[in-house]
A and B are shown apart, each in its own frame.
Chain A
């Protein structure tokens, strides 16, 4: 039982490049989330998917797109990376949207945009 798995763990991009961060959970959770964490700050919600087939913007969605590929997978795409998107990205999942105590986070993806 792996929980929430994110790939890659580390990535360096040049400004303007694109990439997709992958996230998969094997807990049969309905809801999935993407957060970013910057130094000295808490996590900020980028996008979330309350259930399969739906996605919604969080606090800081600009510059990102998401796809809920199926119940297990939720990907985050940067179409044209900018230095301001240098951050650690966390994917999370929960059985029900924000009402369930069992919210699990992945190990994070450390992204540097140069």
Chain B
């Protein structure tokens, strides 16, 4: 069935350390993955995406890794800052036979940054 899951509901890291947030997906037909950040009281904000023909993509302080063999996605945040504290969602795009697609979200991981 379709499911996107994150391994840990809460991740606590020290300011300045690197953070790694993991996500498992179940649909091998998924071809596009996105990480979103949601701060309290706000809507999700796009962070970075990756297509299924890639293994790695880097942004500013963030890196997304995709392992299609084990259906695993991770978000790495370098030098974590207090402003990174939020809930992080992975989402996968699944295209149906009509090629319209739908975005399935995971349950989210709360990142807490300790000063």
Q: Interface on A for B, CB 8 Å cutoff?
A: 4, 33, 35, 40-45, 48, 50, 56, 58-59, 90, 92, 97-99, 101-108
Given contacts A42-B89, A45-B102, A105-B45, contact A98 B32 (CB under 8 A): yes
Q: Interface on B for A, CB 8 Å cutoff?
A: 4, 9, 32, 34, 41-46, 49, 89, 91, 93, 100-108
Residues B46 and A108 in contact, CB atoms below 8 Å apart? no
Q: What CA separation (Å) do A97 and B95 show in the bound complex?
A: 11
Residues A90 and B44 in contact, CB atoms below 8 Å apart? yes
What 6 new A-B contacts, CB under 8 Å, besides A58-B102, A97-B101?
Answer: A42-B107, A43-B105, A48-B102, A101-B34, A103-B46, A105-B45
Contact of B42 among A45, A97, A108 (CB under 8 A): A108
Choose among B4, B9, B42, B43 the residue with the greatest number of A CB atoms under 10 Å from its CB.
B43
| A48: chain B residues within 8 A (beta carbon) | 102
| B107: chain A residues within 8 A (beta carbon) | 40-42
Closest chain B residue, CB of each to CB of A90 = B43
Q: What CA separation (Å) do A108 and B106 show in the bound complex?
A: 18
Closest chain B residue, CB of each to CB of A103 = B46
| A59: chain B residues within 8 A (beta carbon) | 102, 104
Q: What CA separation (Å) do A103 and B105 show in the bound complex?
A: 14
Given contacts A45-B103, A56-B100, A98-B101, contact A105 B43 (CB under 8 A): yes
Closest chain A residue, CB of each to CB of B93 = A98
Q: What CA separation (Å) do A32 and B62 show in the bound complex?
A: 27
Residues A43 and B102 in contact, CB atoms below 8 Å apart? no
What is the minimal beta-carbon distance from A98 to any residue of chain B, in angstroms? 4
What is the minimal beta-carbon distance from A32 to any residue of chain B, in angstroms? 13
Residues A106 and B43 in contact, CB atoms below 8 Å apart? yes
